[in-house]
Amino acid sequence: MTDDVLFSAESAMWRTTGSFPRGPRYDGEAQGGRVARRRLGFWRRFAASLVRPLMTVMVRPDWRGMTNLPATGGVIVVANHISHADPFALAHFVFKAGRWPRYLAKESLFRIPVVGYIISAVGQIPVARGTVDARKALDQAVAAVEAGKCVLIYPEGTTTKEPDLWPMRGKTGVARLWLATRAPVVPVAMWGPERLFDPRTRRLRPVPRTPVTVVAGPPLDLSRWTAATPNAATLAEITEFIMLSLRGMVADIRGGTPPPLWSRPAPDPGRTAPDAAASGEAPGEAAAGLSAESED
């Protein structure tokens, strides 16, 4: 068992019932809570103590499919990105499932006094987007997954630019990460954080008990690409499959008919180079699809 596994009685109840315990205490809470806190360490416990009360007050959760998140071992969690508020909802969901969430965050955040130290201390990974150095973030993500950690990724690389906040085209960073690790890829669809902060209007509405839905699906079946060469066509196919899966899950939550992801030209069979240039992405753009922060 790695230090990434944070099971307590509370998280176990979430995984089996999908709901929080009622009342101030329940069977096993004290012992399970102490075990989880001891594994967290000081800085992760400190970060959780800041985020959890805020989320408890601000969000009325409708969280489903938590048992689809593996309890141990490396895992890649992919999610749609609709608001600057949804990283908190996703992290809280993963934490309640018994795993410690690890995002790739903008490198500039790590230079902010105090904030940079804390996010580094709790295991977040810096990414210098738009530069060749962004590839280093992908290497760190691979190392984290191979070490049994839970890495959270927004394949779109930024909050969606679709007018109605449907998923849009993803970048290939998540496909590269899966090809390098073959770890389970768990899709998570969210709806509701845009009520707290709408990226279209940049309007902040901190209304307590805002309904937020987070749904984790079963690990995606990527077996058809197990023996595939990691070229541009393969990366595009895996990315499209992931984004279509997320789009379908979002449609299940929201209802209605989602628009197409994008119109993608047929892949050129002659393009086989696995680097960013071959995939049509600028240097560092693929790793941008691993970032937890918007490009705005």
| pLDDT tens per residue, range 43-76 | 788 888 888 898 999 999 999 999 999 999 999 9
Would you give the DSSP letter of residue 76? E
Neighbours of 223 (CB within 10 A): 8
Q: Which residues contact 229 (CB under 8 A, 6 or more apart)?
A: 272, 274
- Quick one: pLDDT at residue 36? 45
Instruction: Answer whether 88's CB lies under 8 Å from 50's CB.
Output: no
Give yes or no for residue 30 having a pLDDT over 60. Answer: no
Q: Which amino acid is at 188?
A: V
- Express the helix, strand and coil content of the chain in percent, nearest 5 each: 40, 15, 45
Taking residues 207-234, report their average pLDDT.
Answer: 94
Which token pair is 154?
């927004």
- Quick one: pLDDT at residue 11? 52
Taking residues 262-286, report their average pLDDT.
Answer: 46
Task: Report pTM.
Answer: 0.79
Q: Which of 27-31, 239-243, 246-250 has the lowest mean pLDDT?
A: 27-31
Q: Which of 4-13, 15-24, 34-43, 256-265 has the lowest mean pLDDT?
A: 15-24
Beta strands in 131-184 (DSSP E): 150-153
Closest CA to 87 of 152, 7, 161: 152
Query: In this structure, which long-range contacts are made by residues 43-48, counting pairs with CB atoms below 8 Å and at least 24 apart in sequence?
Result: 43/118, 43/121, 43/122, 44/100, 44/121, 44/122, 44/123, 46/118, 47/118, 47/122, 48/95
- The Cα 128–Cα 117 span in angstroms is 17
Query: In this structure, which long-range contacts are made by residues 274-281, counting pairs with CB atoms below 8 Å and at least 24 apart in sequence?
Result: 274/229, 274/230, 274/231, 274/232, 274/235, 278/231, 278/232, 279/172, 279/232, 279/235, 279/236, 280/232, 281/171, 281/172
Q: Phi and psi dihedrals of 103, rounded to 5?
A: -100, 160
Instruction: Answer whether 96's CB lies under 8 Å from 14's CB.
Output: yes
- The Cα 96–Cα 269 span in angstroms is 44
107 confidence band (pLDDT: 50, 70, 90): confident
- The Cα 49–Cα 260 span in angstroms is 40
State the burial class of residue 231 (Cβ atoms within 10 Å of its Cβ: 0-12, 13-18, 19+). middle
Sorted by where each starts, the structural domains of the chain and their CATH numbers stand as 9-20+29-288 (3.40.1130)
Give yes or no for residue 268 having a pLDDT over 60. Answer: no
Across 31-35, 44-48, 127-131, 192-196, which has the greatest mean pLDDT?
A: 192-196
Neighbours of 178 (CB within 10 A): 25
Give yes or no for residue 128 having a pLDDT over 90. Answer: no
Neighbours of 266 (CB within 10 A): 6
The mean pLDDT of the chain is 79
Instruction: Answer whether 127's CB lies under 8 Å from 107's CB.
Output: yes
- Quick one: pLDDT at residue 138? 87
- Quick one: pLDDT at residue 81? 95
Give yes or no for residue 244 having a pLDDT over 60. Answer: yes
Give yes or no for residue 266 having a pLDDT over 70. Answer: no
Q: What is the largest CA-CA distance in the chain?
A: 63
